[in-house]
Amino acid sequence: MPTILGQNQYGKAENRVVKITRDGDTHHIKDLNVSVSLSGDMDEVHYSGSNANVLPTDTTKNTVYAFAKEYGIESAEQFGIHLARHFVTSQEPIHRARIRIEEYAWERIETSDANSKFIGADEVKHSFVRQGQEVRTAQITFDGENWEVVTGLKDLTVMNSTNSEFWGYVKDRYTTLQEAYDRILATQVHARWRYNWTSDEDRLPNWEKSYAQARKHLLQAFAETYSLSLQQTLYQMGSRVINSRSEVDEVRLSLPNKHHFLVDLEPFGLKNENEVYFAADRPYGLIEATVLRDGVEPRIPVDMTNL
Ligand SMILES: O=c1[nH]c(=O)c2[nH]c(=O)[nH]c2[nH]1
């Protein structure tokens, strides 16, 4: 059966690039998911396997990271224009480049209240919360006598672009991780907290206010903790809620460590001064713990995967 090749395109999809611009203490984030798709004189690679016209998809990925350093990321559009122009004008066989970009928006975590004195600054300028993500959850149980209310949130994504270290850990023959003295700390907060309201006789908490306050304390503790591990940050987040909200007795947190790896730009003659990161989606560290008011029995299930 004779066949012919129809429309075709190729490239590297979903390059997760995070660019931190450090303006003194004030940091700015650009977080993109960039997909490159190229087409042109590509008949031969399909018909005979000759790669003579093929710029590797791996190279298109490297170009995304290198351009983040060389041009910066002013806007998704401008970044895409640089990339598309580069592929079409530098490679004769490539006639068309399509760059698709998703941009994830981050806003600063507000910390300008009494707690910021703990870190000796008026305002934290390196802590961000990703917009438009989180889901509020609630579980209400009643056995005719006692109530149990467990409220929570999931998919609240936060990042500190500095004030995070990780070193001094156990090293065995399989350990390759380099100690980090200034790393990005990012996580997607999954939290549940249990109220000590159990009886119709007791005064009801203000659920709306309590949720907003618990969320605020989680965010502020994340932003204001100088972190030596995500475990330490987790404990600070849980404790902050317990210490600030008398209606809450137990907080359970599940925090994936959303790793950001510095991209090696040396092969392209570029120096990466803690600016351009690869945001890996898996595997991820998963740090989980319950923080309790002293004297209280834990009741939130340990495994929250389906909650
Ligand atoms: O905050 C961290 N805690 C860990 O337990 C851990 N393990 C690891 O490889 N990186 C990290 N980071």
State the fold for domain 7-145: Urate Oxidase (3.10.270)
Mean pLDDT score across all residues of the chain = 94
pLDDT of residue 112: 61
pLDDT of residue 135: 93
- pTM of the model as a whole: 0.91
Confirm or reject: Cβ of 187 under 6 Å from ligand 1: no
pLDDT in tens, 114-146: 555 555 555 689 999 999 879 989 999 999 999
Residues identified as active-site: 12, 57, 259
pLDDT of residue 115: 53
pLDDT of residue 132: 82
**Domain at 152-307, CATH from 3.30.465.10, 3.40.50.300, 3.10.270.10, 2.70.70.10:** 3.10.270.10
Confirm or reject: Cβ of 177 under 6 Å from ligand 1: yes
Q: In angstroms, what is the span from residue 234 Cα to ligand 1's centroid?
A: 12
The pLDDT of 13-36, averaged and rounded, is: 96
Mutate which of 230, 258, 284, 286 for ligand 1? The one with the most ligand atoms within 8 Å of its CB, which is: 230
pLDDT of residue 189: 98
Protein residue whose Cα sits closest to atom 7 of ligand 1: 285
Confirm or reject: Cβ of 166 under 6 Å from ligand 1: yes
How much of the chain, in percent, has pLDDT values that exceed 90? 92
Q: Does 39 score more than 90 pLDDT?
A: yes
Q: What is the 3-state secondary structure (H, E, C) of the chain?
A: CCCCCCCCCECCCCEEEEEEEEECCEEEEEEEEEEEEEEECCHHHHHCCCCCCCCCHHHHHHHHHHHHHHCCCCCHHHHHHHHHHHHHHHCCCEEEEEEEEEEECEEECCCCCHHHHHHCCCCCCCEEEECCCCEEEEEEEECCCCEEEEEEEEEEEEEECCCECECCCCCCCCCCCCCECCCCEEEEEEEEEEECCCCCCCCCCCHHHHHHHHHHHHHHHHHHCCECCHHHHHHHHHHHHHHHCCCEEEEEEEEEECCEEECCCHHHCCCCCCCEEEECCCCCEEEEEEEECCCCCCCCCCCCCCC
Enter the tokens of residue 300.
């939130």
Confirm or reject: Cβ of 257 under 6 Å from ligand 1: yes
pLDDT of residue 209: 96
| Banded model confidence at residue 109, pLDDT cuts 50, 70, 90 | very high
Q: In angstroms, what is the span from residue 211 Cα to ligand 1's centroid?
A: 29
Q: 206 Cβ partners below 8 Å, 6+ apart?
A: none
Q: In angstroms, what is the span from residue 224 Cα to ligand 1's centroid?
A: 19
Q: Does 161 score more than 80 pLDDT?
A: yes
Predicted ipTM > 0.85: yes
Q: Delimit the domains of the chain by residue range.
A: 7-145, 152-307
pLDDT in tens, 252-306: 999 999 999 999 999 999 999 999 999 999 999 999 999 999 999 999 999 876 5
Domains 7-145 and 152-307 alike in fold = yes
Residues 73, 77, 80, 84, Cα dihedral to 10°: -140
| Banded model confidence at residue 43, pLDDT cuts 50, 70, 90 | very high
